[in-house]
C-alpha cells in the first residue's frame, strides 16, 4: 500500500507536466498526495474496520474535496443516492492495492477487487483493471516470478505486454482509461530492477503520471518491498489521519515494511 502512495506522491508533479526521462529528482519540493492516495487509504480503512467502502469514500471526499477527483466521481460522491456510473477509468486500479495485500487467496482477491470497484466503476474494463492490479500484487507478494505474473495477467485479462517501456514511451500520452494505463503500469514493473526503478519507468512514460506510478508502485512493493527512505518520505507528506490508517494497514498486512526515519535519495 505504501508503494502505491509513494508512486502517487512522486508522480503528482508530473501529471500535467509530463517528462519522458527516468532522470529526475525522486521527490520534488512540490510533491503532494492526490485522490489516488485518498481513495487508497479509504479502502484500507474499509478493510481494517469492515466499514462500507462507498460510505467511506464519500466521507474522505468531504474531508479532501480538492484532491483531484474525476468529474463523474465528484457527482457520485456529492449525492449518496447516486449509483455506479459504468466507468472504465483508471481510478478503479489506482485505489485497489490494499486488496492484493489483505486477502489470502487469489480467488478472494479477484472477488473482493470486483466488489470494491463496482461501487463506482462497474464497467467490465474498470473491474478488469482493478482485478489485474490486485492479482499482480497478490502474486508478487506470494512469491510468483515476473514471468509467472506476466503469463497469468496475459492469459486472464488479455492485456498486451508485447511492447517495452522504451517502445511505449515515445507515443504514449495522457489517457485515463484502465485499458491504456494498467498494462503499461504492469510493464513498468516487469522491466524494473528495483522499487525505485519501477517508479522511474512509470513516470518516464508521461501520461497520467501519478496514477501510472501509483499502480506500478503497489505491484513493485509486493515484489521488492519499499526502501525505508522512500517509505518515510511518503509518510511524512501525508496528514495525520492518512498516515495513521496507512500505518495500521501496513502493520496488519505488510509487517516488516520499513516506515522509519532516513535520508531520501534524489
Average pLDDT over residues 2-9: 98
pLDDT at 207 over 50: yes
Listing DSSP states for the chain in one string gives -HHHHHHHHHHGGGSSS----S-S-SS-TT----HHHHHHHHHHHHHHH---HHHHHHHHHHHSTTS---HHHHHHHH-TTPPP----BTHHHHT-HHHHHH-SSHHHHHHHHHHHHHTT--SHHHHHHHHHHHHHHHHHHTT--HHHHHHHHHHHH-----S-HHHHGGG-----BSTTTHHHHHHHHHT-SSHHHHHHHHHHT-SSHHHHHHHHHHHHHHHH---HHHHHHHHHHS-HHHHHHHHHHHHHHSTT---S--PPP-
**In whole numbers, what is the pLDDT of the chain averaged over residues?**
95
All domains of the chain in start order, with CATH: 2-16+34-253 (1.10.4080.10)
pLDDT at 15 over 50: yes
Q: What band does 155 get if pLDDT is binned at 50, 70 and 90?
A: very high
Choice between 255 and 238, residue whose per-residue pLDDT is larger: 238
pLDDT at 261 over 70: no
| Alpha carbon distances (Å) from 224 to 95, 139, 196, 217, 250 | 20, 12, 10, 10, 15
Give the pLDDT confidence of 34-57 residue by residue, as tens digits. 999 999 999 999 999 999 999 999
pLDDT at 260 over 70: no
pLDDT at 250 over 70: yes
pTM greater than 0.85: yes
- Sorted by sequence, the CB contacts under 8 Å of residue 167 that are 6+ apart come out as none
Percent of the chain with pLDDT over 70: 96
Give the pLDDT confidence of 95-112 residue by residue, as tens digits. 999 999 999 999 999 999
pLDDT at 7: 98
pLDDT at 259: 58
Percent of the chain with pLDDT over 90: 93
Q: What band does 262 get if pLDDT is binned at 50, 70 and 90?
A: very low
Give the pLDDT confidence of 112-130 residue by residue, as tens digits. 999 999 999 999 999 999 9
pLDDT at 266: 35
Amino acid at each position: 500500500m505504501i508503494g502505491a502512495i509513494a508512486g502517487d506522491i512522486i508522480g503528482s508533479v508530473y501529471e500535467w507536466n509530463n517528462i519522458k526521462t527516468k532522470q529526475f529528482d525522486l521527490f520534488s519540493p512540490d510533491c503532494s498526495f492526490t485522490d489516488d492516495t485518498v481513495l487508497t487509504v479509504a479502502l484500507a480503512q474499509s478493510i481494517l474496520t469492515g466499514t462500507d467502502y462507498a460510505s467511506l469514500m464519500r466521507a474522505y471526499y468531504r474531508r479532501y474535496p480538492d484532491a483531484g477527483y474525476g468529474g463523474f466521481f465528484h457527482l457520485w460522491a456529492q449525492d449518496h443516492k447516486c449509483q455506479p456510473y459504468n466507468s472504465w477509468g483508471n481510478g478503479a486500479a489506482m485505489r485497489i492495492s490494499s486488496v492484493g495485500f489483505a486477502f489470502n487467496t487469489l480467488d478472494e482477491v479477484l472477488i473482493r477487487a470486483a466488489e470494491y470497484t463496482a461501487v463506482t466503476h462497474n464497467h467490465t474494463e474498470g473491474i478488469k483493471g482493478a482485478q489485474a492490479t490486485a492479482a499482480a500484487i497478490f502474486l508478487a507478494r506470494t512469491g510468483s516470478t515476473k514471468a509467472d505474473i506476466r503469463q497469468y495477467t496475459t492469459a486472464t485479462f488479455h492485456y498486451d505486454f508485447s511492447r517495452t517501456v522504451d517502445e511505449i514511451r515515445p507515443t504514449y500520452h495522457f489517457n485515463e482509461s484502465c485499458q491504456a494505463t494498467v498494462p503499461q503500469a504492469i510493464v513498468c514493473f516487469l522491466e524494473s530492477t528495483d522499487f525505485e526503478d519501477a517508479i522511474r519507468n512509470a513516470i518516464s512514460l508521461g501520461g497520467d503520471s501519478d496514477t501510472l506510478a501509483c499502480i506500478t508502485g503497489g505491484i513493485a512493493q509486493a515484489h521488492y518491498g519499499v526502501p525505508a527512505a522512500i517509505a518515510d518520505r511518503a509518510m511524512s507528506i501525508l496528514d495525520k489521519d492518512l498516515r495513521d490508517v496507512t500505518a495500521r494497514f501496513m502493520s496488519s498486512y505488510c509487517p516488516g515494511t520499513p516506515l522509519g526515519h532516513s535520508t531520501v535519495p534524489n
